[in-house]
Every structure is written in C-alpha cells, then in structure tokens.
Amino acid sequence: MRRLAAALALCATMIGCAESSATFTLPTTDTNVAGTFSLVAANGQPLPLVAQITQSEQWNLSADKLVLDPAGTWSEATTYTVLTLASGATRDTVANTIGTYAIANGQINFIVTTAPGGAFTGSVTGKTLTLLYSGGTFSYTR
C-alpha cells in the first residue's frame, strides 16, 4: 500500500538511520522463516514512532505484524494512531500490504505485490526477523 511504503520510508528518515542499511549487514537467514512477527524497533528506536507529520495530523506507527507463510507469501498489517493536531483527537487506522518472498544467497528477498510494489531484504535468526527497508533497519520478534 502506498501509505505503508511512504510511512515506513518517512519513519526511517525521521528517526534517523543509526543502523542504516548501507552499514548494516544481514546475518545469514534460517531456512525456516515462517511465522508471525511483531515490530519492536526501527533503527533501534522502540514503538511507537512518529511516521509522518502533516499540517493537520501526526501519524504514529503503533504496531506492525508481519506474517510469513511457508508457501512463500507474506502479509503485513500496520497500525497507526493518528492524532488530529487541532483537536487532540486520535483514531487508529490499519494499512495492509501483501507480497511474496524467496530465500536466496542467505537472505530473504521480499517482493511487494500491493500497489505501487517494491522490494526489500531481510533475515530470520531464531526468533528475530530483521528487515532492511528504505535505508532503515526494522527489528521484529516472533
């Protein structure tokens, strides 16, 4: 989903890339990567994270769940708590993204099949999933 891709890219930019993908090397992935993973940190910063600020709203990334199916597909549900700056009111919204993945050369290669598409890499070691996306490092746990 465009909103997810834009928000994660903004999130990676706004929190800084202390562990940018340019300097971070993925560990060799386990072969059994299937499971449900919850985001715990982006570039070392715990949730919630400011993903985007407009003139009227602040979008906070409050949760992200990534499910890797053994058949080579994945789905993601990203929850944002949106703060209306003028009133202080909040609402939750969920963005869903899907795609496929394959393991090659010791890493997981993800393809986003939801418009506008895209690709990123990751690895699973034990209970930890690490993703390199848009210059940021995202850490998940099972």
Task: Give 82-120 pLDDT, tens digit per residue.
Answer: 999 999 999 999 999 999 999 999 999 999 999 999 999
Q: Strand pairing partners for 41?
A: 46, 139
Structural tokens at position 122: 């990751």
From residue 105, give the alpha-carbon distance in Å to each of 24, 29, 40, 121.
16, 9, 26, 11
CB 68 within 8 A of CB 74: yes
In this prediction, residue 24 carries a pLDDT of 77
Q: What's the whole-model pTM score?
A: 0.83
CB 39 within 8 A of CB 56: no
Structural tokens at position 60: 């906070």
Question: For each of the chain's 142 residues, which pLDDT tens digit applies?
Answer: 344 444 554 444 444 434 444 577 899 999 999 999 999 999 999 999 999 999 999 999 999 999 999 999 999 999 999 999 999 999 999 999 999 999 999 999 999 999 999 999 999 999 999 999 988 999 999 9
Q: Strand pairing partners for 52?
A: 59
- C-alpha 15/C-alpha 36 separation (Å) is 25
Q: Could you say which DSSP state residue 114 is in?
A: S
Assigned CATH class of 2-141: mainly beta
